A and B are shown apart, each in its own frame.
Chain A
Amino acid sequence: MTTRSNFVLSGIVGIVLAFLMLPLVAVMVSSFSGGPPMAFPPQRFTLRWYEAISADYYGALRTSLIVAVGATALSVVIGTLAALALRRGRMRGQRLLSILCMSPLMVPTLVIGVAGFQFTLVLWDIFHLSIADTIIVLTLGHAAFCVPFVIRSALVAQAHYDLTLEEAAQNLGATPVETFFRVTLPLLMPGIITGGIFAFLASFDDVPVALLLGGSNTVTLPVKILTSIEFSFEASIMAVATLVVIVSLVLMLIVDRLIGLESLIGVGRG
């Protein structure tokens, strides 16, 4: 490629990357600004927004983490089992089962939320069971779209899997159970972890399901921030956001060191 087109290409790449970083930088800069959060340029460096973060945000963070961990754990367990079954099982209608298990990925999260909410109404009508606005129902609601993430990643991991390794292990005297735990599972682990990370991020980021299935007792962090923007806009929102950005970046760096971000390539949800 010629130097000139190289230069143009680099320029475009630079601009696009700046665009991608822009809101994140804006959040961080805004959190230190003494003036109104929507204004530029920022005035008067101050840390007072960080001190003013109300305890409600920490409660919301706690809720988000509990739900995300729960949904991820559940998804990893049943998702891995399902992926193993789909890859190795010999049954009729295998393709249909595969499509069924991945079908939530085709459904907009908002629709999953609406369906879940209306289902809680049905459960009330039939069983007088009031499960809305509980951590359990929110975790299950998230699991609906987390499970397919794990199944998909685990299936992809198995596609690259060399079964002769298992054969070799059994040649050396391992029983099928030993082979599973000491050969199969460890080799699949990166794929499972990738799926787990996707699931965790999707759950933590979710707004529609938390909005529809949650209530005053189950306020997740994104929902809390959204409500605050509308009804009590203080600049401490930017401080909260900056903290989230920093923590996310740190976690990302850790993940990158451990398994490399390139292995997380894939298309997710909006």
Chain B
Amino acid sequence: MKKLLFAASIAIMGVLPAPMASSQEITLRVANYGGAFTASQRKYAADLFTQRTGVRIQFIDGNPADHLAKMIAARGREAPYDVVYLDDDVQARAIQAGVLQRLDPSLVPNLAHLYDEAKNPEGYGPGMLFYSVGLAFNVERLREAGIPEPKSWADLWDPRLAGRVAVPDLSTIMGRNFLVAAARLNGGDERSLERGIEKIASLRAHSYYTSSATLTTQFQSGDVWAAPWINGRAWGMIDRGAPMRFVIPTEGGFGNMTTIDVAAGTRHAREAHAFINFVLDPLPQLGQAYEIPYGPTNRTLAPVLAAYPELSKKFPASPEDLKQLILVDWKIYNSNHEQAVQLWNRNVIRRR
């Protein structure tokens, strides 16, 4: 399988445009998630980009919400980043805060190759991958403890799992998705986030994780047995031999996009556009999907994915797959977000 994928990539590479003329020592500061995702983007996008153009990429790790806070804090002064990877809901907030630039389509020709759903209607950065949020759990530990495998969000509240569930913090996309899931369990939705807070407050969590890297360690050490998580990271662990499983809960998993944008006020707009274009190229997209199973947004890869169902079953491989999942209305969510954070502080984490 690996050989065929490789051959397919080489073939696709032949179709790619000629490399840019190399520029002097420019370093792009790119805000990313960290951990395995930064590593895979470095491998398949950044390093290759540097080879072709001479432009260096410096990744700065953190949650998109933290990156947004930094950009807002620096408003008017020098932008702290040139390119940012953001969750789609964070992108909506960033656009509203005015810290992103619209893309110049002539500098990002790959935009034409994307699914329509991945394009931003207002001309800002596109989605560069699709992913889903569902349930990840450790099969071995559950079996040893005699607990049946969870099939729904509600199963996380099973008293036998008390103290073994890691709840994602609101600074992560999983956290925000899970909050909506909890709200739905409690008879509400993204309009009534306080119901979600109420529900989550009643869950005896092991801890509240703020990054996938932390959760990976907690799963590895066996401290945590189940958690809402993102398909790519969970499958990453499964592919490396961890005794885990990732399922879409019966109430519905959540569909999301990771967007890549140009920061407002960057001094290297051309190089930023070029990097974004490169990230959307078939080879980096395919490499990323292979390394961590996220769905590429570049349409041209659809036939390749169709030929390898073992790979494409791990992620939303197309907009149709995405529509099977719950798509949160982030505009509504964002208008309630600050209040949700306050309630979270008071009711969820303020306990010994």
Hey, which bits of chain A sit against chain B, CB under 8 A? 36-39, 124, 130, 132-133, 215-216, 227-228, 230-233
Contact = CB atoms under 8 A, between A and B. Distances in A.
A36 B80 CA distance: 34
A130 B76 CA distance: 10
A36 to B, nearest CB: 5
Interface in B188-233: 210-211, 213-214, 216-217, 220-221, 223
A228 B35 CA distance: 9
Contacts of B63: 231
B283 to A, nearest CB: 24
A228 B60 CA distance: 11
B33 interface: yes
B224 to A, nearest CB: 11
A233 B210 CA distance: 12
B211 A231 contact: yes
Contacts, number: 51
Chain B, interface size category, equals 20 to 34
B340 to A, nearest CB: 22
Contacts of A231: 33-35, 61-63, 211, 213
Given A216-B60, A227-B62, A230-B213, A124 B38 contact: no
Contacts of B81: 216
Interface residue SS majority, chain A? loop
B226 to A, nearest CB: 18
Given A36-B217, A216-B29, A230 B77 contact: no
B35 A36 contact: no
B221 A133 contact: no
B47 interface: no
B155 interface: no
A232 B213 contact: yes
Contacts of A230: 34, 210-211, 213-214
B318 interface: no
Contact of B221 (A36, A124, A228, A232): A36
Contact of B217 (A124, A133, A227, A233): A233
A133 B74 CA distance: 11
B217 A38 contact: yes
B58 interface: yes
B61 A232 contact: yes
Contacts of B39: 232
Contacts of B221: 36, 38-39
